[in-house]
């Protein structure tokens, strides 16, 4: 099997990285951001967060922190002191709705059970919520729906923190003072709190884990869909995973059709850890169906398996089962490598479009700070290397935009506390006008 046949197989199915013309895709992506900011129909929701990294974080005020993600639910207590943020009593549990499906009432009751033991220490809650939610000026989150295969029915339209507070009040507790933010916003706020803002020309929060998303600080005058507010800037949660204008191919369509939210979050399904193993498996099966591979398809593949194979094409990997003979190992490797190239190019387009839209990072000595979180980015080193490479090509070499990737421990929990504490602060009154 020549390598050209492998390339042609991916081209025929619209899965080849060549399908992503990065500069052209970047212009389309930025236009879609602008439509979302204007309130026009767009696959990018561009959700205002009503938080802004502009004030100092109050000290010595314990805050309950909750971090609800696609796989885990983490919680604990956070307090800011001289040396920075301190976390205590941190617990990690499976996210309700992942092991078994449930309705919204049961979901809120499960959160109330988990929150109750912390109420002796604080009634302030910072809630990092990794799902689409419209944020109210009072920092509650109106659930727009669950994704990442979390099964909670009837949650759309729920004012999540108020519902949680009401359940706690019905159990004899005081109401909560809450702030709900998206996980990208938590990443950005946590990163802002942990760095010297003078060193950076602005911040981007970027998550690449089970799902993917970005947020960034936008000037108020660039958010025409909001009424005039006193703040100069606001963090905007793009819900970037929802972007629907990248070219898609045969195997993307298959994964989308059998997902829990067909037709939605198309970009997320092409690049994030929750779906990449499935894309790889379907593409390899497609290659087998066309006679390019003669081995046996494994039942399941994860992002972990793909990245491990690309680091070290190991005969014991479940992926190796596809190879009917030694030469086919090259076919498998090339397909996986090109699929990951395609994903890295799309990620670079997304991040560069933000640098251009927010006009960040024009000087190499004052780059934009991309605060990155998520198990996929952290653990999939081969993917990370490709993202760096395409960021260099697109952001730096094509557009002269400079950036640094930074990560911080427990950033979601700390960032959620920052948001709750800044809401408490008198300054946030300006945002509640
Ligand atoms: C959710 C976003 C979240 C991202 C990363 C997506 O599936 O819609 O709200 O920020 O995953 O966790």
CB 153 within 8 A of CB 103: yes
- For residue 228, the model assigns a pLDDT of 80
Ligand 1 atom nearest to 70, measured from its CA = 12
Q: Return d(Cα 376, Cα 379) in angstroms, integer.
A: 5
Please give the structure tokens belonging to residue 85.
């943020």
pLDDT in tens, 8-42: 999 999 999 999 999 999 999 999 999 999 999 99
Please state the rounded mean pLDDT for residues 126-135. Answer: 95
pLDDT in tens, 278-294: 999 999 999 999 999 99
Q: Return d(Cα 313, Cα 300) in angstroms, integer.
A: 17
Ligand 1 pocket, Cβ-based, cut-off 6 angstroms? 130-132, 147-148, 182-184, 207, 209, 211-213, 239, 241, 268
Please give the structure tokens belonging to residue 338.
């090109």
Q: Is the pLDDT of residue 342 over 80?
A: yes
- For residue 424, the model assigns a pLDDT of 54
**Centroid of ligand 1 to alpha carbon of 288 (angstroms):** 33
> Residue for token digits 């929802």?
242
Q: What are phi and psi of 110, to 5 degrees?
A: -65, -40
Output the CA–CA distances (angstroms, integers) from residue 389 to 29, 162, 259, 401, in the order listed. 20, 44, 31, 14
Percent of the chain topping pLDDT 70: 97
Q: How confident is the model at residue 6 (pLDDT cuts 50, 70, 90)?
A: very high
Choose one of 127, 130, 190 to mutate for the ligand 1 pocket test, by most ligand atoms within 8 angstroms of C-beta: 130
pLDDT in tens, 50-103: 998 877 788 899 999 999 998 899 999 999 988 888 999 999 999 999 999 999
What pTM was estimated for this model as a whole? 0.91
**Centroid of ligand 1 to alpha carbon of 22 (angstroms):** 23
- For residue 432, the model assigns a pLDDT of 35
**Centroid of ligand 1 to alpha carbon of 365 (angstroms):** 31
Q: Is the pLDDT of residue 428 over 80?
A: no
pLDDT in tens, 359-401: 999 999 999 999 999 999 999 999 999 999 999 999 999 999 9
pLDDT in tens, 192-219: 888 888 999 999 999 999 999 999 999 9
* Mode of pairing for the β-strands spanning 177-182 and 233-237: unpaired
Ligand 1, atom 9: closest residue by C-alpha: 131
Q: Give the distance, in angstroms, between the CA of residue 13 and the centroid of all CA atoms in the same chain.
A: 27
Q: How confident is the model at residue 426 (pLDDT cuts 50, 70, 90)?
A: very low
Phi-psi bin for 56: left (phi > 0), alpha (psi -120 to 50), beta?
beta
**Centroid of ligand 1 to alpha carbon of 241 (angstroms):** 7
Q: Return d(Cα 225, Cα 292) in angstroms, integer.
A: 51
Q: Is the pLDDT of residue 430 over 60?
A: no
Q: What is the mean pLDDT of the chain?
A: 93
Q: What are phi and psi of 348, to 5 degrees?
A: -65, -40
Q: How confident is the model at residue 148 (pLDDT cuts 50, 70, 90)?
A: confident
* Mode of pairing for the β-strands spanning 152-153 and 102-103: parallel
**Centroid of ligand 1 to alpha carbon of 61 (angstroms):** 29
DSSP symbol at 175: P
Q: Is the pLDDT of residue 311 over 90?
A: yes
């Amino acid at each position: 099997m020549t390598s050209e046949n492998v390339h042609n197989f991916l081209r025929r199915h619209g899965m080849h990285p060549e399908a992503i013309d990065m500069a052209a895709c970047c212009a389309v992506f930025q236009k879609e951001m602008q439509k979302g900011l204007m309130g026009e129909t767009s696959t990018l929701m561009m959700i205002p967060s009503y938080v802004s990294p502009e004030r100092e974080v109050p000290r010595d005020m314990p805050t309950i922190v909750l971090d609800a993600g696609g796989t885990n639910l983490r919680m604990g207590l956070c307090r800011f002191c001289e040396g920075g943020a301190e976390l205590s009593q941190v617990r990690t549990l499976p996210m309700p709705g992942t092991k078994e499906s449930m309705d919204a009432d049961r979901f809120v009751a499960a959160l109330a059970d988990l929150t109750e033991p912390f109420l002796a220490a604080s009634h302030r809650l910072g809630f990092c919520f990794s799902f689409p939610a419209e944020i109210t000026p009072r920092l509650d989150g109106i659930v727009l729906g669950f994704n990442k295969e979390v099964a909670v029915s009837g949650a759309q339209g729920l004012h999540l923190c108020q519902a949680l507070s009401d359940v706690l009040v019905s159990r004899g507790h005081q109401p909560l003072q809450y702030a709900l933010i998206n996980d990208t916003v938590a990443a950005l706020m946590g990163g802002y709190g942990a760095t010297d803002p003078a060193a950076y020309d602005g911040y981007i929060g970027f998550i690449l884990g089970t799902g993917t998303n970005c947020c960034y600080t936008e000037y108020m005058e660039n958010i025409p869909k909001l009424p005039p507010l006193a703040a100069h800037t606001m963090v905007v949660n793009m819900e970037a995973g929802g972007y629907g204008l990248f070219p898609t191919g045969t195997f993307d369509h298959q994964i989308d059709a059998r997902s829990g939210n067909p037709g939605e979050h198309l970009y997320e399904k092409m690049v994030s850890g929750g779906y990449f193993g499935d894309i790889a498996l379907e593409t390899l099966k497609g290659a087998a169906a066309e006679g390019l591979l003669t081995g046996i398809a494994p039942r399941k593949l994860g992002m972990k398996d793909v990245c491990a194979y690309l680091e070290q094409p190991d005969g014991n990997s479940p992926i190796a089962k596809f190879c009917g003979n030694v030469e086919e190992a090259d076919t498998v490797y090339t397909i996986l490598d090109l699929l990951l190239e395609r994903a890295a190019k799309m990620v670079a387009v997304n991040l560069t479009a933000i640098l251009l839209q927010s006009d960040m990072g024009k000087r190499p000595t004052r780059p934009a700070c991309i605060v990155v979180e998520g198990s996929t980015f952290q653990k999939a080193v081969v993917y990370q290397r490709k993202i760096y490479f395409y960021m260099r090509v697109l952001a730096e070499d094509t557009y002269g935009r400079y950036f640094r990737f930074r990560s911080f421990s427990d950033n979601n929990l700390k960032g959620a506390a920052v948001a709750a504490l800044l809401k408490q602060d008198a300054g946030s009154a300006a945002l509640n006008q």
